[in-house]
Structure 1
């Protein structure tokens, strides 16, 4: 997921995406624990996507509070 794609989303869409990403991360960690994970780099990518979404949500929150 690219930052430009995330910036185009609304706040509600970002919150929904964040929930989906956290669920995916949970599933990936569970698969890793039982040695069924096919692509371990996916965990890193999902963590970065979560960080991107959280960063954008925080930016918008600060922007709204400044106005």
Structure 2
């Protein structure tokens, strides 16, 4: 997911995307803590995606 795709979405869609990413992040953290996570790079990817979505949401809020 890149910023260009995110800017095309509405604020409501971005909120839903953010909620889904935060749930994914929680599940990945739980898997890591129990030793079940083999693809540790996913934690960083999800964290960066959360930051991208929050940045676009803040940009949209600043435009209004």
TM-score range, shorter chain: over 0.9
Cα root mean square deviation, aligned: 0.6
Structure 1: gaps (5+ residues) = none
Structure 2: gaps (5+ residues) = none
Query: What TM-score does the superposition give when structure 2 sets the normalisation length?
Result: 0.96
Matching of residue 38 in structure 1 with residue 50 in structure 2: no
Larger Rg: 1
Higher RCO, 1 or 2 (CA under 8 Å, sep at least 6)?
Answer: 2
Query: What TM-score does the superposition give when structure 1 sets the normalisation length?
Result: 0.92
